[in-house]
Chains A and B, each alone.
Chain A
Amino acid sequence: MASSATVELSRWQFAITAIFHMTFPALTVGLSILLAVVYTAYLRTRNPLYLQMFRFWRKIFAVGFGLGVVAGTVMTFEFGLNWGSYAHAVGPILGVTIGMEVITAFFLEAGFIGIMLYGEGRVRPRTMAFASWMVAFGTLLSTTWILSANSWMQDPAGYAEVAGQFRARDWWQVLFNPAFSYRFPHMLLAVLISAAWFVGGIAAWYLVRQRSLAFARRTLSLALGVLAVLMPLQLYAGDETAVFMGQHQPAKLEAFEGNWKTDNNGYNLVVIPDPGRGRDNLRIEIPHLGAVIGKDLTGQAHVPGLLQTPPDQRPNMWSAFYGFRAMYFTALAMFAMAFAGLVLRLRGRLFTARRFHRLLVWMTPAGLVAITGGWITAETGRQPWVVYGLIRTSDAVSHLSTAEAALSLAGFVTVYAVLVAVWIRYIVRTVKAGPEAVDAPSPARFLPVRPTLPEAAHG
């Protein structure tokens, strides 16, 4: 059996690679839909503004997508590299789910992305639009399968255990397990929202700088419109998910609420937990709010504490509590900003409110912060189980030496740090360079422009 150091190192490695990978889909799913929408709008109106938007966001999408693909390749192998025993036990279930993701979604994206990125002038515009929609559809399918697989690990259903290996008894229950129906909408909204903030924040930057105004206004209007609709939905979906998880994984709820004894009716804002002694060294709370959120209007009910869970089944309160707070507080800020945007729009001042635009620039990474916090809560809150209630994380690792695990972790940290730096620099440069200029005076109505296909495309 592998040493506990190997387990810890492998966990860190998986966490880092997973968070890193997550950053890219969190943007590219939403961006792919945006690209498909604006290209379709271009087809319908022939307004070059939409083509300008398409080409600009495509630049950012292309690199993000490419990095997402390679980071995703890493994930596929990691299940077996560091978690061989886990891979052997759940291969008949999760291997199949992820296999279906690859064949239905991954190939769809990969097959059409070439056309979407390099096809202009080679294929008809309608084919470009079709390819864009196929890429968007592929990213959505991918999200679906991955959430199904992860939700099965959170709340396994429809399985039978035979000689230490899990096999499906009922595929319907495996794929559409109870947790999936809560977590999928939550995550789907999250990725759309994070892309909308990203896009909206960058558009706001152009407005602050008074550059590329038509482009910036169109993008900002779209982003804030989407956010005004999705943010309230997301708060609802998130609340439902938290309630569901509280029922199915009580320890996770106890950890992310930050209480040890079940004697607190307040809502904790800051805690400094002391897991060794089973108490909080510091606790800043809003009295009664915890009980109210737990549906007791009198404010007397107590929020369950982590001491209710046996010590060998307790997750880490630090990560679960602060992961949850990062997600939740960011979500509140996002909601407030989306709502302010709605009000400004109704008052016809969306494109002139300078202070609002400056605030929006700061919101650019908000969605990514919330998604990262949420996943930290979901994944560390499930510990010490890798498949909840069935396989412990410590029993899941491969037969590896500590040196191997340490070396690979160091490699991933180094390469990913470089990668993040390059990626951010690329985005900053692309944004500073701005969208491609449009050569013409300002138009009122647009004459349809038939793009000419080069002769070579005909044969």
Chain B
Amino acid sequence: MAEYASYALILFALGAYVVLDGYDLGIGILGLFDRSDHRRKEYTELVATAWDANESWIILAAVILWAALPGVYATVLPGVYLPLVVMLLAFVLRGLGLEMQSSAPDYRPGWGRLFGFSSVVVTLCQGLVVGTVLSGLPQHGGVFDGGALRWLTPYSVLCALGLTALYLLAGAAWLQAKTQGSARRRAARLGRPLLALAVAACLVLGFGLEVADPQHFRFDQPLRAVLFGLLVAIAAACGALAWYGFGREPDARPFAAVLGAQVAGLLALVTATAPVVVPPGLSVHAAASPVGSQVFLLIGVGCCMPVVLAYNIYAWWVFRGKYRPPAEAALAVSAEPRQPVDARTDLMTNQIAPTENGLMTLARRVGFTVLGLGVVAVAQDVFGGQGEWIAPVTITLFGAGSLTAWLVGDRRAAAAGEFDIDQAAER
């Protein structure tokens, strides 16, 4: 049973990833086709507040897969080596483009394009990976043993295109929910064509799976058939709702509907394939790690998950509603100026330090440094291993001494006004 719970957890993380990062990848691609720099800047800012958390879900899915079903992890990853590596490289570039864009005050077309194109690459590669896994990977003893170009099949290419359509749809739906004015109108207008495209892709991929799939689904079990039919019906209903919702208030409806369709679609796929994870033969049972590991993981992750969800929802709540530019107050102080302090003032005596003989100073500094090193050498018990207690005790004394000197010196400097902002001296 533990392995099914782990499998459910993986699916949950994967589903969360598709739903969350799906929309921000879609927004990245949509930005490529937008001509307004103002809107594009808005898109990246919209993504910047959430992409860390969104991308974390794929990491979670990957490590739970590793921990709970090492057989699947060790088969799938080498099996789709090149698309996955390209996806990771695109992730890196996407993060770069996004962060550089976000830290710049205005829109930078170069970083924007990098963000957009790497979003396209990430999406295509994920589609290739999904398509390859669905059309089967050869393995032996939990380790992949196929060829380097195994991932290049007609079905996986179709899958890549289909996933792009799906993410674009999610992106448009999210934009309608989160933006105002021309950005919202644009997203609402794009919604229906994209929905039609996504539905067409789902139909092609669904029927194509019959041909590509090496395991040959069988729907002769009544439970499986009923469940599958039900989920497909829900997905279809959600699609219809999204169609109705684009361009209409409330603006959150299309995204909610797309989310429902994505979840139902993923579950339908699982219903059709379970318990096989990687066709043709790698099932949940065969790939699972020992029960002890599964239980530890399930308890650990299970206990953390509510907390994780709670603060993810909180973070979402903070940024709820339509996008607004960051609202930082300007730095300002209100107080009377104080007398500037000469930088050369000796803080102990409050007198200007006299100029000293350079050689003496150097000698004293070298002396102090040697003394310091000597103290540490003794403290480390370098000279002899005379007693276990020497090192900890002297280190404690040393640390406490440094701490005291720091705090006292800091306080003295603050009293002397060293830390006061002097606007005349600022640039």
Contacts and interface: CB of A to CB of B under 8 A. Distances in A.
Given A70-B92, A120-B326, A236-B380, A422 B81 contact: no
B321 A214 contact: no
B419 A411 contact: no
A451 interface: yes
Nearest to B78: A398
B37 to A, nearest CB: 20
Contacts of B300: 96, 99-100, 103-104
B344 A106 contact: no
Contacts of A232: 376, 379, 395, 398-399, 402
A115 B67 contact: no
A162 to B, nearest CB: 7
A95 B68 contact: yes
A434 B383 CA distance: 47
A59 B91 CA distance: 21
B343 interface: yes
Contact of A342 (B405, B417, B426): B405
B331 A76 contact: no
Contacts of A311: none
Contacts of A297: 383-384
B94 to A, nearest CB: 7
A73 B348 CA distance: 52
Contact of B95 (A69, A81, A113): A69
Interface string B317-342: 01101001011111111111110100
Interface stretch (A249-257, A277-285, A435-443): A435-443
A335 interface: yes
Given A235-B376, A400-B148, A343 B84 contact: no
A444 interface: yes
Contact of B92 (A74, A215, A398): A74
A458 to B, nearest CB: 11
A126 interface: no
Given A49-B421, A345-B405, A426 B103 contact: yes
Contacts of A65: 52
A443 B369 contact: no
B156 to A, nearest CB: 17
Interface residues of B, number: 126
Nearest to A447: B334
Interface stretch (A164-172, A322-330, A366-374, A378-386): A164-172
A96 B312 CA distance: 22
B319 A114 contact: yes
A391 interface: no
Interface string A74-89: 1011011110110111
B67 A96 contact: yes
B331 A73 contact: no
A214 B423 CA distance: 10
Contacts, number: 427
A247 to B, nearest CB: 14
Interface string B375-414: 0100110111100000110010011001101110110110
A438 B100 contact: no
Contacts of B293: 91-93, 95-96, 167-168
Given A81-B84, A214-B418, A229 B384 contact: no
Interface in A211-240: 211-215, 217-218, 221, 224-225, 228-229, 232-233, 235-236, 239
B419 A228 contact: no
A362 interface: no
Contact of B329 (A108, A217, A221, A451): A451
A140 interface: no
Given A122-B327, A218-B419, A447-B335, A342 B56 contact: no
A351 interface: yes
A76 B63 contact: yes
A299 to B, nearest CB: 11
Contacts of A210: 425
Nearest to A409: B85
Given A99-B67, A121-B327, A437-B426, A77 B62 contact: yes
A297 B377 CA distance: 13
Given A92-B289, A437-B426, A107 B331 contact: no
Interface string B59-85: 110111011101101111110011011
B413 A350 contact: yes
Contacts of B250: none
B427 A340 contact: no
Given A213-B425, A440-B421, A400 B81 contact: yes
B43 to A, nearest CB: 15
Interface string B123-163: 00000000000000000001111111000000000000000
Interface stretch (B23-31, B217-225, B261-269, B303-311): B303-311
Contacts of B56: 69, 102, 106-107, 110
A349 B356 CA distance: 13
A233 B81 CA distance: 44
A69 B380 CA distance: 37
B229 interface: no
A434 B48 CA distance: 23
B99 interface: yes
Contacts of B337: 441-443
B343 to A, nearest CB: 5
Contacts of A444: 335-336, 338, 417, 420
Given A91-B74, A103-B308, A446-B335, A228 B402 contact: yes
A343 to B, nearest CB: 5
A72 interface: yes
A67 B95 contact: yes
A72 B59 contact: yes
Contact of B326 (A63, A118, A293, A400): A118
Nearest to A111: B311
Nearest to A425: B100
Given A73-B91, A106-B59, A118-B319, A84 B353 contact: no
A87 to B, nearest CB: 5
B211 interface: no
Contacts of A122: 318-319, 327
Contacts of B334: 440, 443, 446-447, 449
Contact of A438 (B50, B333, B369): B333
Given A55-B331, A91-B289, 20 more contacts: A62-B99, A63-B103, A73-B55, A74-B92, A81-B78, A81-B84, A88-B142, A93-B293, A100-B300, A107-B304, A111-B311, A121-B328, A232-B398, A236-B379, A336-B373, A398-B74, A440-B335, A442-B338, A446-B333, A447-B334
22 contacts: A65-B52, A67-B95, A67-B99, A73-B91, A76-B59, A76-B62, A84-B143, A88-B70, A92-B292, A95-B67, A98-B63, A102-B59, A106-B56, A107-B308, A111-B312, A118-B319, A167-B290, A214-B418, A235-B376, A352-B344, A447-B335, A452-B329
Closest CB pairs A-B (n = 8): A91-B70, A121-B327, A95-B67, A443-B335, A80-B77, A225-B406, A348-B347, A295-B385
